[in-house]
Copies of this chain bind each other. A is one copy, B any other.
Amino acid sequence: MTADAADPKPYHHGDLSRALVEAAERLLEREGASALSLRAVAREAGVSAAAPYHHFKDKNELLNAVARLGFEQMGQAMKKAIEGLATPSERMNAVGVAYVCFARENKALYNLMYDPGRDRDFRADAPQSPDSPLAIVMAAIRENAPPDAALIDIQLSQIAGWCAAHGLAQMAGNKDFDPLKAALGGEKAFFSQVLSHLGMYRGLKL
């Protein structure tokens, strides 16, 4: 209680930049993406409509900051999901399921992170950090590859696996999948099974 519960109006908010990002994330999960206007974010943070422009060049830049936060949270959730798993195969499967689950549980945030209509200045999902979702997926697939695999095959498999997880994350809400989900005993099992069936796309046996 040293810096947080200060006076109600410090007039120079202190750390408005962070407060705006947090207000935006709060608004995003409370009211959905359509309610996420710059003015609404400013309102939620208790500040005037023009104040954000001293911390972000654009609405787009504020959304980029929200997305960056989302990538961190997603990476942490995925790391927690593979804690204590022994085999590379188990870890790879858990990473994929965790990826899709996070996307489903934070639908609006995930859509914001990968919105193809926005200018994202940072790399698609901050692959430079080893804790980014993409890096975690890449590592899990690499470590599960056969030891004699060629580098290019590993790379292509990594991309394929990531694309499949991303596609599943976006399509998982499709109502046509409901009977299949029920037959398998829930969404998580459905995600796991879909990812496990990737190989059959080529007509291979499992």
Which residues of the other chain, B, contact A175 by a CB distance below 8 angstroms?
123
When the two chains form their complex, are residues B171 and A163 in contact, meaning their CB atoms are under 8 A apart? yes
Main secondary structure of the interface of A (DSSP, over half): helix
Known interface pairs A159-B197, A163-B171; 20 further A-B residue pairs with C-beta atoms within 8 A, sorted by A's residue number: A34-B117, A89-B202, A111-B116, A123-B175, A124-B176, A127-B176, A146-B203, A152-B180, A152-B183, A156-B197, A160-B198, A161-B201, A164-B167, A166-B170, A167-B167, A170-B170, A195-B201, A198-B198, A202-B206, A204-B204
Chain B residue nearest to A171 in the complex (CB): B163
Q: Please, how many angstroms separate the alpha-carbon atoms of A175 and B161 in the complex?
A: 18
When the two chains form their complex, are residues B194 and A163 in contact, meaning their CB atoms are under 8 A apart? yes
Which residues of the other chain, B, contact A144 by a CB distance below 8 angstroms?
202-203
When the two chains form their complex, are residues B170 and A116 in contact, meaning their CB atoms are under 8 A apart? yes
The reply on A105 being an interface residue by CB < 8 A is no
Q: Please, how many angstroms separate the alpha-carbon atoms of A204 and B184 in the complex?
A: 24
The reply on A165 being an interface residue by CB < 8 A is yes
Per the 8 Å Cβ criterion, residues 48-64 of A in contact with B are none
Contact of A170 among B34, B114, B205 (CB under 8 A): B114
- Given the interface pairs A144-B203, A203-B145, the reply to whether A167 lies near B162 with Cβ below 8 Å is yes
> What is the oligomeric copy number?
2
Q: Please, how many angstroms separate the alpha-carbon atoms of A20 and B17 in the complex?
A: 42
Chain B residue nearest to A118 in the complex (CB): B34
When the two chains form their complex, are residues B164 and A205 in contact, meaning their CB atoms are under 8 A apart? no
The reply on A153 being an interface residue by CB < 8 A is yes
User: A205 to nearest B CB, angstroms?
Assistant: 6
Chain B residue nearest to A140 in the complex (CB): B201
Which residues of the other chain, B, contact A197 by a CB distance below 8 angstroms?
153, 156-157, 159-160
Contact of A199 among B149, B170, B176, B202 (CB under 8 A): B202
Chain B residue nearest to A159 in the complex (CB): B194
Contact with B along A129-154 (1 / 0, CB 8 A): 00000000000010011100100111
